[in-house]
Structure 1
Amino acid sequence: MAAGRGRKVLKWSAIVIVVIVVGFFYGFVPWFLAGIATTSHFHFPDPNDGKTPKTYGLEFQAIEFRASDGIGLKGWYVPAAAPARGTIVYVHGHNRTRVEMLPEAAFGHGLGYNGLLFDLRHQGASEGKVTSVGYWERLDVEAAVKDALTRERAARPVIVWGISMGAAAGLLAAADSPDVDAVISDSAFLNFSELIRHHYYLFRGFARRRWWWFPTLPGFPIVDEVTYWSAWRAGFRPSDFDLEKAVDKINPRPILFVAVEGDQRMPPSYARTLDADATSPLKQLVVLPGTRHGEGFNSATAQYQDAVKRFLANLESSAQGARATGSP
């Protein structure tokens, strides 16, 4: 009798443990990862934290504007020192702020371009409770471009220069808005589903190295759960978040694709695929030495700057040629 009760207790204890383990790995873990992607408010330390364009010797003015869905955004407008060659809108990455783009903005100013830097929604000083890793942030980029052209009466062409999430938002914005004349896409991904799949396997490898007990869980169904919950929290359909489709809509406007050779998060194969989708004769692809995600401008500065100079010079020459022939 006592032995029977003991076996029954062991049986139910085992069932409870299995339920807890399954619930943890297939319930809590996907929900936790979705939260990291969409609602966390972590800020990666940046060497430019606390700095402004003034730190780089640039005059600027603080600006505020709203995205079309009402989210308030804050940033800086940095006018060119002389008649501008155009205007560059700088867009930072996930869990970053506008200060990430200060070195790029100083470089662009030196080339004679107006600059607009701002915090994307749910980042820095801007409003918003959710990050969508670029999907809704496209509205922020469109609003920044509109603010530059209308309130600041900024010169064309308008180039959007984004890193990682900022590159994704820039590509989506350019796909929607004809006001964007060209894009510099640094360390973008292909689509939302691929982003989650790839980062799950990176997370699993990290977890296995850090916690010996973390099992080698297969991608299914966790990847699908994280994809669903992340998109649900941010309010979009994963199938709508596709940067290859965005590039197809941007065509034939020019895009400069940038990647870092050793970037595990956004490998160069992504940039090569997007470049293959682009049709502009002015498109460029540059793969820089280094290993850190989104750090190409800092790790291979001269090579990066040369690529940007060449891209902008070709864009300017093309515009001058079109004006000379009366082409639109």
Structure 2
Amino acid sequence: MKKLGVKIGLGFLCILLLVNIVASFYFYDLAIKRDVKEFLAGNQDLEVSAKAMDVFLKGDWRTWYRNQPFENWEIESADGLKLQGYFLEAKEPTDKTVVFAHGYLGDGQDMGLYAEHYHEQLGYNVLTVDLRGHEMSEGDYIGFGWHDRLDMVQWVDKLLEKRGPGTDIVMHGISMGAATVLMTSGEELPDNVKAIVADSAYTSVYDLFEYQMDRMYHLPDVPVLPTTSLVTKWKAGYSLTEASALDQVKKAEAPILFIHGNDDSFVPTTMSKELYKNAKSEAELVIYDGANHGESFVSHREDYEVKLEDFLKKHMD
């Protein structure tokens, strides 16, 4: 009887292990594998105001972006991927350039809303890129900022090669792009990188997935996420825990402006607060009331522009 109980127990554990492995591969394919992603459709956490949606989908910035003479740039990543970037020279000669990083499932064009402001109002050169696994860049997985951080270092090198050693650079990212520029901040960067702007960033990929597992599926992180992390390490070359913006900002030298909406239910505002508290470099934190995920520039545009320009004047002039 005792042996039978042991066999039943072992059988049950084997079933749980199999279910865990299957679930881990499922979540890898769901979130990280480069593929059509339908799981975010209808997600209430990503709903924004009607005003913001109108600007995001129909704003004049889209026409502006299409009409600009962007140059196509290309780099080859350390692991052999061809990555695409798009450079726009300022109307008047300047040494100031903004490098943009877009959000999850986005592309370089999505940053046109911000690029228009930098180019038209601030007089900056603009470099926006398709992160690995997105749009015209190669890659069969989404890096959530981790491998992208090394790609961004290469884009900085490319910019200095093209524009010269006197180039002053600000890196500006939204959501996953914000985590990307923060992860980049902990690398050895040239002094040309004068400032970093991170709008709606997460602390780490594991923290983000843990939050979303609970919110979207009402599941605990253990045991599925640790196993998903192992699958990600095997298939994409990074673990969910090592992909940490929090660890990287602890090494940052460039000043950082953190921005977040306090109604953000997709990436909780507490993550930007934690990042701000742990930043090694000079840092500022701006929280906008009533703003959902990545919505602050539209919902509080006037103040956002003032805070951004004050930050840039302080560190880019």
Which secondary structure state, in structure 1, belongs to the residue aligned with residue 211 of structure 2? helix
DSSP-derived class of the 2:73 partner: strand
Equivalent residue for 2:52?
A: none
1:182 aligned onto 2:176: no
Under a length normalisation based on structure 2, what TM-score does the superposition of the two structures give? 0.81
Q: Judge conservation of contact 2:229–2:239 (CA < 8 Å) in 1.
A: no
Distance 2:161 2:258 in 1: 28
CA deviation vs aligned residue, 1:91-144 (integer Å, no higher than 9, x gap): 001111111100111111120111101101110011111112111111221122
What is the rounded CA distance, in whole Å, between the counterparts of 2:309 and 2:187 in structure 1? 26
Matches within 5 A, 1:192-231: 192-205=205-218, 217-231=219-233
| Helix, strand or coil at the partner of 1:73 | strand
1:144 pairs with 2:149: no
| Distance in 2 between residues matched to 1:48 and 1:224, nearest whole Å | 41
Partners of 2:65 and 2:107 in 1: CA distance: 16
Partner Cα separation in structure 2 for residue 220 and residue 55 of structure 1 = 44
For 2:303, give the aligned amino acid: Q
- Matched with 1:322 is none
Indicate if the aligned counterparts of 2:65 and 2:109 stay in contact, CA closer than 8 A.
no
Relative to structure 2, which stretch is displaced further, 291-300 or 268-277? 291-300
Aligned mates of 2:308, 2:247 — CA distance in 1: 24
**Runs of 4+ deviating beyond 4 Å:** 18-25, 43-46, 51-54
Amino acid at match of 2:226: D
For residues 224-266 of structure 1, the C-alpha deviation after alignment (integer angstroms, 9 at most, x for no partner) is 2233323332112444322222112113x20000111111121
* Aligned counterparts, 1:57-68, within 5 A: 58-68=68-78
Q: Which amino acid aligns with 1:173?
A: T
* Aligned counterpart in structure 1 of residue 131 of structure 2, from 120, 131, 136: 120
Counterpart-to-counterpart distance in 2, 1:255 and 1:69: 29
Give the 3-state SS of the residue equivalent to 1:117 in structure 2: strand
TM-score normalised according to structure 1 size = 0.78
Aligned residues of 2:145 and 2:180 also touching (Cα < 8 A): yes
Matches within 5 A, 1:15-54: 22=16, 26-42=20-36, 47=57, 54=64
Counterpart amino acid of residue 224 in structure 1: P
What's the CA shift for 1:177? 3.2
Partners of 1:42 and 1:147 in 2: how far apart?
31
Give the residue type in structure 2 aligned to 1:221: P
Range 136-145 or range 36-45, more displaced:
36-45
Which structure has the higher relative contact order (CA within 8 Å, separation 6+)? 2
The letter for the 2-side match of 1:300 is H
Aligned residues: 289
User: What is the DSSP-based 3-state SS (H/G/I as helix, E as strand, rest coil) of the residue aligned with 1:249?
Assistant: coil
Paired residue type of 2:286 = V
Give the Cα separation in 2 of the matches to 1:176 and 1:286.
Answer: 24
1:289-308 mapped onto 2 (5 Å cutoff) = 289-308=289-308
**Contact 1:41–1:122 (Cα < 8 Å) also in 2:** no
2:287 matches 1:275:
no
Please name the residue that 2:168 is paired with.
157
Which residue of 2 is the match for residue 213 of structure 1? none
- Where 2:313 maps in the other structure, the secondary structure is helix
Q: Equivalents in 2 of 1:245, 1:20: separation in Å?
A: 36
- The 5-angstrom pairing of residues 231-246 of structure 1 reads 231-246=233-248
CA RMSD in angstroms, aligned pairs only: 2.9
CA contact (8 A) 1:86 1:154 kept: no
3-state SS, counterpart of residue 141 of structure 2: coil
Contact 1:94 1:133 in 2 (8 A): yes
- Separation in 1, partners of 2:310, 2:212: 33
Shift in Å, 1:87: 0.9
> Residues 243 and 218 of structure 1: is their aligned pair in 2 closer, same or farther, counting only changes over 3 Å?
closer
Q: Is the 8 A contact 2:132 2:141 kept in 1?
A: yes
Unaligned runs of 5+ in 1: 1-14, 206-216, 318-328
Residues 279 and 23 of structure 1, relative CA distance in 2, 3 Å threshold: closer
Q: Percent identity, aligned pairs only?
A: 26
Unaligned runs of 5+ in 2: 1-8, 42-55
Q: Assess if the C-alpha contact under 8 Å between 1:139 and 1:173 holds in 2.
A: yes
Counterpart-to-counterpart distance in 1, 2:69 and 2:164: 17
